Structure 1
Amino acid sequence: MQYRTLGKTGYDVSTISFGAWAIGGTWGQVDDAQSVAALHRALDLGINFFDTADVYGDGHSERLIARLRRERPEPFLVATKAGRRLDPHVAGGYTEANLRGFIERSLSNLEVEALDLLQLHCPPTVLYGQPEVFEVLDGFVQEGLLRHYGVSVERVDEALEAITHPNVATVQIIFNAFRIKPAEQFFTAARAANVGILARVPLASGLLTGKLRADTPFESDDHRAFNRHGEAFDRGETFSGVDYAAGLAAVERLRPLVPDGITLAQFALRWILMFPEVTCAIPGARNPQQVESNAAAADLAPLTPEQMTAVQAVYDELLRAHVHPHW
């Protein structure tokens, strides 16, 4: 495993970390025994950073991570998120009282006295222009409820506005071979501001595993079945906003680039780590085998310039028009 410093937090985190959305819900049926085994295997392999949210399984994901902390002595870091419990989810709901309630619930779920990292969970765009919200977060840091805070965003313009607030330590953003815009328009500014970057949806909701087909079935409670057009939340969260058929075509273009002995998923994760501004990728995993496959990507040899150019060409020719204008 490799480690990079997470911006101004000073945390050294594993470049392949653990995204805990899938063990909470909206990815089909979950098996808690397998989820806990996956969490344990992550620690075994040197993964020391777990990303979750208070709405993943209505707190179930957080509680599983608390169980891991009870069962393992070694220290690890947890990032969680707040804001999506609001109904309606509007910027005006990000009040001191509401955020305090969300934080206290996460503290209870995670069984800790302070959150390592709290991220605003894809708030409405207008919120990034409201400094008073970030001042509230500063107050929570001073109280000792949070150690650091950041944001999880949908769009590059949101990321750029977020880091104008001086104590935003991290930005979590969708970044993968199907969503290259952050590298073109955000990474330089993040580096200048010493902001850590968490690459979420790194495998484009499974498209970049190469295992999905045109006829792959998805369970009714899997967002890949019910959110392809943004019916429940931003459509960019599902398959990175790429049209499913276009994504499958792009996968076929990528397959010949993958060296013998590794998977397309590992290739896709290693591609992300070719960008030094990215602190870590946070793929999900629901069993130990998936964790092992993900973690192995951290130690792969760098991609060649020819491979990087070829990935860019696939994006430019097949996907840019689908996603670049929207996020």
Structure 2
Amino acid sequence: MTTAVDTRQVRDLAVAALAWVSAHRGDFALGADALTADGPVDLTWKPLGELAQTCVSVRRCTPPSDPLHACASDLLDFAWQQTGRGELFLRLQRTEPFATYPLEVYSVFAGAGLRHTGYEVAAGAVARSRGWRLTEHEPTRRLGLLNAERRSGIHRPERFAQALGRTWLGGLPEPWTFERTSGYALTHVVFHLTDWGRTAQDVPAELAAYLTDWLPPWLDTCLDAGMWDLACELLIVAASLPQPIDAATLQDPWRRIARVQHASGALPLMASDPARTHEADPEPSFVHGYHSTLMLAFAAALTQGVPV
């Protein structure tokens, strides 16, 4: 990486963010409500799955000798233990056989080599049914589900290219139609295409060229609006392209993120007052800080590991 981005500063952001996550690992723990059919998935399985995904991604872009790698490995082991080493996925499968979130979360662990044979057999049987294939999903979610199936060893004839063409980003929309919802959709399209930054070569050339042109102004827009969470996701995308965004272009975005990271390492989802986006807000609560802090850790680890 060139000196246009301060690699030491970017690394410090990742270290501080993972330190906050480690200090709050208990907040990621699953409670009894995680196994009920009407349980609060967004407050139980979603945070745990995002913790696991961030840890897997950080491990991939750091050498085993790196303390960041060790920290991510420790947190990933914690997350796997929370699932009963995969046993809870089988219990969820029996409770909600056509729910997709168990497979989506499980696939994160499977991609890291942590597997539960019994669950994979049960999930595979359901995934081969017409009911599973015909269930309607938003296009970006469909792409994510296909990636989850691939990670878990489930192979169906539906193609990534077909699913990609139905997404907002896949249609190469007018750049001025970008807004918060489409922003989150486009970042996840790239996450699913590249298996969260692992296979940058899987981004089609036309899509990569489009993102190279328009991601920088979109990133500036998000930073101006104090959308720290979405800005970090866009920084992940920037480092996940076949030819990563020029480092000089990312110098100011990283400096702005550094200014608003809390001393504890946490990063708020959004600025409390978009008119004052140059100042750090008070430390956010777990619910309002865990995702943005995880995305910051991932973005910083991936950026420092990508040669530009």
Which TM-score band applies after superposition, normalised by the shorter structure? Answer: under 0.3
Report the TM-score when normalising by structure 1.
Answer: 0.26
Report the TM-score when normalising by structure 2.
Answer: 0.28
User: Which is richer in helix?
Assistant: 2
